[in-house]
Amino acid sequence: MSEQGEIQIRAACQEDAEKLLEIYRPYVEKTAISFEDTVPAAKEFAGRIARVLTRYPYLVALRRGEPVGYAYAGPFVGRAAYDRAAEVTIYVKEEERKTGVGRRLYERLEAVLKKQNLTNLYACIGVPPEEEDEYLTRNSAQFHAHMGYRLVGEFRKCGYKFGRWYNMVWMERIIKEHKENPDPVIPFSKEML
């Protein structure tokens, strides 16, 4: 567990790419939490941050000025009818797990997404098909359930990593009322934080 210290949350920027990539690296190299099998280059990762920020929040949590986690939203499916839905993603530094960083990031992310007039959030989560192993547990699905997400579907043995097949679940959280005439979606801006 990390040393205690206040957590600050701010919008990420492309210059954060290398430090955020160091948080992400162990998830790619040592786990099946990420289904990527190669760690992206810093330039590619910076491009990902920039693409998200054109419309959605990409948040970074800092403890004593150093990134300890990040969370972001992105398009769900990518068709206009889904504009009020988003897929959410979170990664927390290994030694910062179970310190409240994840909760703080998701609470802030959801608050911003509400201001943008989004209604539905979805998380795509790798899970072991039967028994947990050294690469994948059910911790991420349990975290999302604790945050108010509910299971809406499971795909069997759709991800192959480390010579093993893994399942993937979709979890959903409704964060805002579904109006007959919904408010327009507002692109993300730092003022929403």
User: In this predicted structure, what is the pLDDT of residue 98?
Assistant: 87
User: In this predicted structure, what is the pLDDT of residue 1?
Assistant: 34
Positions of the chain with pLDDT under 70: 1-4
* 3-state SS string for the chain: CCCCCCEEEEECCHHHHHHHHHHHHHHHHHCCCCCCCCCCCHHHHHHHHHHHHCCCCEEEEEECCEEEEEEEEEECCCCHHHCCEEEEEEEECHHHCCCCHHHHHHHHHHHHHHHCCCCEEEEEEEECCCCCCCCCCCHHHHHHHHCCCEEEEEEEEEEEECCEEEEEEEEEEECCCCCCCCCCCCCCCHHHC
User: In this predicted structure, what is the pLDDT of residue 7?
Assistant: 95
User: In this predicted structure, what is the pLDDT of residue 51?
Assistant: 98
